[in-house]
Amino acid sequence: MESIGVLMASPVNPYLEQELDKRFNLFRLWEYPSKPEFLKSHSQSIRAVVGGVSAGADAELIQALPKLEIVASFSVGLDKIDLPKCKEKGIKVTNTPDVLTEDVADLAIGLILATLRRICECDRYVRKGLWKKGDFQLTTKFSGKTVGIIGLGRIGMAIAKRAEAFRCPVSYYTRSEKSDCKYKYYPSVVELASNCQILVVACPLTGETRHIINREVIDALGPKGFLINIARGPHVDEPELVSALIEGRLGGAGLDVFENEPYVPEELFKLDNVVLLPHVGSGTIETRQAMADLVIGNLEAHFLNKPRLTPVI
Ligand code: NAP
């Protein structure tokens, strides 16, 4: 397989790069000063693209690679891949589901606790020597609060199970009600937000879910409500979120993802009722290695004409 051209759109994981280098003819797009020049010289030899959360395979890249057979994403989210274009051209797509579910759900609970109990601010308080001057302010309880989840798939369900252990009544919104599900279903995001204290976003980013958190939803959640986003930044209308937090129309927010990451609205830096993370939902050594192994396994299976491990299309 050493002669098969594999293109990585952006750096995602050193172990993955090293293992792909051993097996394929790996091209790192970011190492080339000009993308058009790169494509002019190498487009005929690229048979696979490895994408991730920041770059995948858009219509332009797919169009520029006439020999492309497969896009293997180092992520479960497919929002950086033009799926209709892949379907139209018969290009296969794989992702990395399941192996990251626990880490992302763990992080969602961590973000809830950090936001409601102000754990990061407490840490800053101690480090700055402020404890000597007085006790830290009282915060608000997590256990028993109502949790609403948008998207009750692998990750949403894992968050629900964890929230149950904190005695939290769980409700959810998805496009259709799940049969055999013990959690309360609301047929709209606004109804869900009106009936929960902590709203967690855990659905895929699509045309339908872009800005699913808008002013109406934020106002329904209200000044005592908390928004937790571990899905994708563009789910949230960020200027609306920032103004609601500044004006006290929303209680607080815990965010792992941002609309234009790695750029984060600087107004948020001044607020104590937010916790800001650099998109680390699946960011453990163990999980990133499992994701890398899935990408490699999918590519090897495809080029050996065997069933892929985690096919999308
Ligand atoms: P999944 O198993 O496919 O679950 C997706 C859930 O979202 C399903 O319950 C689905 O139900 C629901 N959904 C789909 N479209 C919807 C819509 N328009 N409105 C409301 N709900 C909708 O996916 P997953 O493995 O749980 O992953 C979910 C997302 O988490 C990924 O797409 C990714 O963007 C994000 N993620 C983030 C990180 C991170 O590092 N922060 C890591 C991994 C994943 P219906 O089809 O019934 O609507």
Residue 13 has pLDDT above 90, yes or no: yes
Known catalytic residue at 261 = yes
Predicted confidence (pLDDT) at residue 70 exceeds the cutoff of 90: yes
Together in a domain, 150 and 234? yes
pLDDT at 280: 98
| Confidence at residue 81, expressed as pLDDT on a 0 to 100 scale | 97
Query: What distances in angstroms separate CA 131 from CA 5, 115, 141, 233, 273, one per listed residue?
Result: 58, 20, 21, 35, 19
Among protein residues, the one whose CA lies closest to atom 3 of ligand 1 = 153
Q: Does residue 59 surpass a pLDDT of 90?
A: yes
> What confidence category does residue 63 fall into, taking pLDDT thresholds of 50, 70 and 90?
very high
In this structure, are 149 and 181 located in the same domain? yes
**Helix (H), strand (E) at residue 10:** none
Among the listed residues 47, 118, 162, 232, the single catalytic one is 232
Q: How many structural domains comprise the chain?
A: 2
Question: Best substitution site from 174, 201, 230 to test ligand 1's pocket, by max atoms within 8 Å of Cβ?
Answer: 174
Q: Which residues is 8 bridged to in the sheet?
A: 28, 50
Ligand 1 pocket, 213 CB below 6 A? no
Q: Which amino acid, residue 233?
A: G
User: Looking at residue 24, what is its pLDDT?
Assistant: 98
Residue 165 lies in a domain: yes
Query: In ligand 1, which atom is closest to the CA atom of 107?
Result: 41
Ligand 1 lined by 256 (C-beta under 6 Å): yes
pLDDT at 261: 96
Instruction: Examine the domain organization and report whether 108 and 237 are in the same domain.
Output: yes
Whether 54 and 133 map to the same domain: the answer is no
Q: Are residues 105 and 236 in the same domain?
A: yes
pTM for the whole thing? 0.97
Protein residue with least CA distance to atom 36, ligand 1: 231
**Whether residue 232 lies in the annotated active site:** yes
Ligand 1 close to Cβ of residue 76 (< 6 A):
yes
Say whether both 161 and 271 belong to one domain.
yes
Q: Is 253 exposed, middle or buried (0-12, 13-18, 19+ CB in 10 A)?
A: buried
- Over pLDDT 90: what percentage of the chain? 99
Nearest CA residue ID for atom 30, ligand 1: 231
* Domain co-membership, 92 together with 107: no
Q: Are residues 76 and 115 in the same domain?
A: no
Q: Are residues 134 and 182 in the same domain?
A: yes
Q: Average pLDDT, whole number, for the chain?
A: 97
Q: Is 308 domain-assigned?
A: no
| pLDDT reported for residue 129 | 98
Q: Are residues 122 and 142 in the same domain?
A: yes
Nearest CA residue ID for atom 23, ligand 1: 153
> Does the CB atom of residue 150 touch ligand 1 within 6 A?
yes
Is residue 148 over pLDDT 90?
yes
Is pLDDT of 1 > 90?
Answer: no
**70: domain CATH number?**
3.40.50.720
pLDDT (mean) for 85-98? 98
Residue 121 inside a domain? The answer is yes
The domain of 152 spans 101-276
Residues 158 and 209 in one domain: yes
Per-residue pLDDT for 74 more than 90?
Answer: yes
Q: pLDDT tens digits for 187-246?
A: 999 999 999 999 999 999 999 999 999 999 999 999 999 999 999 999 999 999 999 999
For the cut 90, the answer to whether the pLDDT of residue 2 exceeds it is no
Asked if residue 88 and residue 158 are part of one domain, the reply reads no
CA 98 to chain CA centroid, Å, is 13
